[in-house]
Structure 1
């Protein structure tokens, strides 16, 4: 009996190496099988990873396969894929870059282009040819017709002086009286053609039509038909919009960055693609009431009246600039929790993510202080699509 137990123990000891070897090989086979197993992820939520086709528990999209074992830190796209993704590149080089401080502003009518139409004589407004605001009038266009006994008397006086000169052509005194009477009519804004027509007809009329002395937009009508107006009484106001004021607010602490004559960039709301350059013409030395703000002002040309007073604008005030930096469009830089990176085309159709350090930045461009060299070919449009494609295929951030 003891001999049989000894043989069993001896047999078990002999089998121990084989059992240990099989136990070691099993995890290796399991790891190899796991490595070969297909993995799936969500295009919108790459943190979702499954080992079988399914739907995303967050958004419900179908999961797509990706190769988690592909460790190559680049993407290779075909020519058609590049065109479809609208991927464009630029060769970077050193250049100038300015940082801007954004000021809120607005357009306003330029008082130098504003004219008040007033009555040269006392009388009653018989007819207004323009009764609405916002109407454009041209120089020489009739604006109103007035009944004036004063003008009627001046016309009679002038016709009498003309008759005296006609009967006594050699009398210098009568000629002086005629010239003085004519000058009175001119001072009351009667045109030469109107005076000549009065002489030809020989008939006076208490009704006189006045025309616009300048072109502009009717901003305000201050009287009505049938209303009596005194001499010098305001009838309407014209504004010219071919040149507008730009008014912007600044805090007292920002005044150190601004001086009269300084050039700034003006971006009108709705016309962001057409910024205007403007010279600062005036800085208000006093704070506005209850706002604790200063106001700066300049003028911009408004060809074709495409902008209107009251529109919002942004005034970009340069506060810092560098002349020898590498800069990229803002959209070329992808920012994530791990930092910032750009995509560099290392070969035709082959794109590689490169971590960069950013510096000064404005609304359009960003300085690259480290990570790029002059001559690198950097993706400027479609960078985010490359970033998404990399996460989709690799299942991880590129940097």
Structure 2
């Protein structure tokens, strides 16, 4: 009996190391299975079993669960609100693909006026003394002292007096009409001539008024200066309409039709697109460039924009009438592929690879991978992409 107990004790003692090693092996396997894995948020191909820094961008590695096989992300309501995740229903409609043309705003030469001296004399009073001043039509610009004008006024007063004295004499009437016409040609209007007749004596100092409104861009005279007839005094530009000059390649000019309506955007006012008609394409290539020049005009209410500002003209190059489309921010591109996020059911977001077609600055056509009526994430898609990489350690699709 004692021998039997002794042999049993020896067997237990001999088997104990094997059992212990097996237990240790199981523990090691469990420890290895539960070992944390780390990856880089920007480079998910970097994976290691300990914390550290990314060898590519030096960003701190973050833990992730490499064993998860779920292709979706489930968020709570507060997470959706914090991430500003919004969705839109995919639908079909007209989609026009455009090409952006670099353009500039320029003053309209047809609205640029030169104010010149109507008669030789001395500028006795200059009401506009600097450039950049905005003037209105009919505003007083300058007063000129002219002996020639005084002589013409005397001739008219004499002819008018003879006409009143001899009303039946046609010759005196012709002389008076001729003298009046001379005054009108030198800028004297009906009111000025009536005032002259009322006073009955010449007025060599005469004030001239603006015949158009606009911005004074050039001032070529000073007070007290003698000027000759026809001499340039001021230059006035009206900015109520501006020219739009865009650079267009000869191959693109074939896509354009005269009178075609195009869209124009000005930096800072992208949400207020304008419309212009293609009025003219210069037939010769610009000096030093390989482009033609497209010209149109836009309204400029309250002189909101100034000449010299940059602009963009959108030239339509293709269009489809029944195109399944989503907002352009909904599509995430990664190299040669693209994907979107679908919400189904609520607060459950699944990435889906798609193929894109036509696109413009607002929408993109989906030719494969999406059905009409599905809910597509519009804002917050990049946050979902980052969250997926952090939790799964791989690209969504």
TM range (shorter): 0.7 to 0.9
- How big is each residue's C-alpha offset from its partner over 1:295-331, in whole Å with a ceiling of 9 and x where there is no partner? 1111111111111111111111111111222222222
Q: Which residue of 2 aligns with 1:74?
A: 72
- Which region of structure 1 is more displaced relative to structure 2, 168-177 or 345-354? 168-177
Does structure 1 conserve the Cα–Cα contact (< 8 Å) formed by 2:44 and 2:395? no
Q: Structure 1 residues 42 and 254 mapped into 2: Cα distance closer, same or farther (>3 Å)?
A: closer
**Secondary structure of the structure 1 residue equivalent to 2:254:** helix
Q: Which residue of 1 aligns with 2:199?
A: 201
Does structure 2 conserve the Cα–Cα contact (< 8 Å) formed by 1:122 and 1:228? yes
Q: Which residue of 2 aligns with 1:235?
A: 233
Does structure 1 conserve the Cα–Cα contact (< 8 Å) formed by 2:389 and 2:395? yes
- Which region of structure 1 is more displaced relative to structure 2, 85-94 or 65-74? 65-74
Q: Which residue of 2 aligns with 1:118?
A: 116
Q: How many residues align?
A: 385
Shift of residue 190, structure 1, vs aligned partner = 0.9
Q: Which residue of 2 aligns with 1:388?
A: 386
Q: Pick the aligned partner of 1:217 from 211, 215, 218.
A: 215
Does structure 1 conserve the Cα–Cα contact (< 8 Å) formed by 2:139 and 2:209? yes
Does structure 2 conserve the Cα–Cα contact (< 8 Å) formed by 1:101 and 1:316? yes
What TM-score do you get using the length of structure 2 for normalisation? 0.88
1:326 aligns with 2:324: yes
1:177 aligns with 2:175: yes
1:190 aligns with 2:188: yes
- How big is each residue's C-alpha offset from its partner over 1:37-68, in whole Å with a ceiling of 9 and x where there is no partner? 34444545545556566677777776554333
What TM-score do you get using the length of structure 1 for normalisation? 0.87
CA–CA distance in 2 between the matches of 1:344 and 1:201? 87
Q: Which residue of 2 aligns with 1:288?
A: 286
**Secondary structure of the structure 1 residue equivalent to 2:344:** strand
Shift of residue 371, structure 1, vs aligned partner = 0.6
CA–CA distance in 2 between the matches of 1:226 and 1:75? 82
Does structure 1 conserve the Cα–Cα contact (< 8 Å) formed by 2:91 and 2:326? no
Structure 1 regions of 5+ residues with no counterpart?
1-10
Structure 2 regions of 5+ residues with no counterpart?
1-9
Shift of residue 380, structure 1, vs aligned partner = 0.8
- Which region of structure 1 is more displaced relative to structure 2, 217-226 or 166-175? 166-175
Does structure 2 conserve the Cα–Cα contact (< 8 Å) formed by 1:35 and 1:69? no
CA–CA distance in 2 between the matches of 1:318 and 1:144? 50
**Secondary structure of the structure 2 residue equivalent to 1:146:** strand
Q: Structure 1 residues 237 and 366 mapped into 2: Cα distance closer, same or farther (>3 Å)?
A: same
- Which region of structure 1 is more displaced relative to structure 2, 124-133 or 375-384? 124-133
CA–CA distance in 2 between the matches of 1:204 and 1:107? 48
- Which region of structure 1 is more displaced relative to structure 2, 331-340 or 205-214? 331-340
- How big is each residue's C-alpha offset from its partner over 1:148-199, in whole Å with a ceiling of 9 and x where there is no partner? 1111101111121232233334444333333332222122111222222222
CA–CA distance in 2 between the matches of 1:205 and 1:147? 9
Shift of residue 24, structure 1, vs aligned partner = 8.1
Q: Which residue of 1 aligns with 2:165?
A: 167
